[in-house]
Amino acid sequence: MERKLAGRDVLEPELLAEGGPRALMHATERLLARSYGFMYDAVVSGFPPYETLLDQVFAYVDRSAPVGGPTTPTVLDVSCGVGTVAARLAARGYAVTGVDAVGHLVDVARRRHSRRATSLRFENVDVAMATIEGAGTYDVVVSMHTLYWHPRPEAVIAACRRMLKPGGHAIFLTYSRPARVGRTFSEVRAGSGVVQAIRSLRWLVPTAVFEMLRHVDRRYLTETDFHAGLRAAGFEILESRQAFLAGISRLAWVRVAR
């Protein structure tokens, strides 16, 4: 029911004509996604647990396709938002394509980052719904916290698999449970102390509010289901771990199965 035009998110005429709750829900979700895309960048910038998470992701990217060879390794960042992760990967020497279904966020990513690196570009596309240029050529795919909210998570994983060259690698992150403020605060305090727990509220509170307002079917995958979905798409799981605040995320480093 949705198509992309010149980097913008637009609704199909029949959806607009329907009006009522469905159209309102769609419009509200788009507005929330745009708002949170801007807010999230400010919330996580310099936030130590998030920076640690990025260090872990970048380490897996480096292990997957080290920079310094005869060709520049290519990375696809799925649901790139305003492009922060994609830009950091480009600064590390990778040729990066960032894609996102929300056209307004892609516009922001282009304005912020595209002029800073010739090896960085952004496209307004939902990988589960449309073909991306360069299928079967990427060295690495990064998908950070897309699977838990996307209406077609299996299609996202399958699309990531199609984008990779033989032997290519991917790093998937998905939330394993809701970002409940009280529970996560207590777990961080038990593991890292009260100061770190208080600091964690910087991410927990706005995320909890955003999740409360969203109209999506959330999927908090168990480790078993997460791994089964990756294997079904044709991936071999190399490493898997809990990550981020008190292990709220599941991270998997995978390779196209031989």
Read off the pLDDT of residues 4-53 as tens digits, 9 standing for 90 and up: 323 334 333 333 344 555 555 555 555 666 665 667 677 777 788 999 99
**Pairing, β 8-11 against β 2-5:** antiparallel
Q: Shortest CA distance to 160 belongs to which of 223, 108, 232, 69?
A: 232
pTM of the predicted structure, to 2 decimals: 0.83
| Rounded Cα gap, residues 174 and 3, in angstroms | 26
**d(C-alpha 126, C-alpha 146), whole Å:** 11
Mean pLDDT of 143-159: 94
The closest alpha carbon to 187, from 241, 249, 247, 240, belongs to 247
Backbone angles phi, psi at 133, to 5 degrees: -60, 135
Those residues with Cβ within 8 angstroms of residue 236's Cβ, 6 or more apart along the chain or in another chain: 254, 255, 256, 257, 258
Listing DSSP states for 82-120 in one string gives: TSHHHHHHHHTT-EEEEEES-HHHHHHHHHHHGGG-TTE
pLDDT at position 215 is 66
Pick among 3.40.50.720, 3.40.50.150, 3.30.830.10, 3.40.50.1820: CATH of 41-179+207-256: 3.40.50.150
Residue 136: the pLDDT is: 95
| Cα torsion 150, 104, 7, 16: sign | positive
168-214 pLDDT, tens digit per residue, is: 999 999 999 988 899 999 999 999 899 999 988 988 888 887 777 76
**Averaged pLDDT for residues 89-101:** 95
Cβ atoms 85, 108 nearer than 8 A = no
For residue 178, which amino acid is it? P
- The pLDDT of 231-254, averaged and rounded, is 96
pLDDT at 131: 81
The sign of the CA dihedral 4, 135, 59, 87 is negative
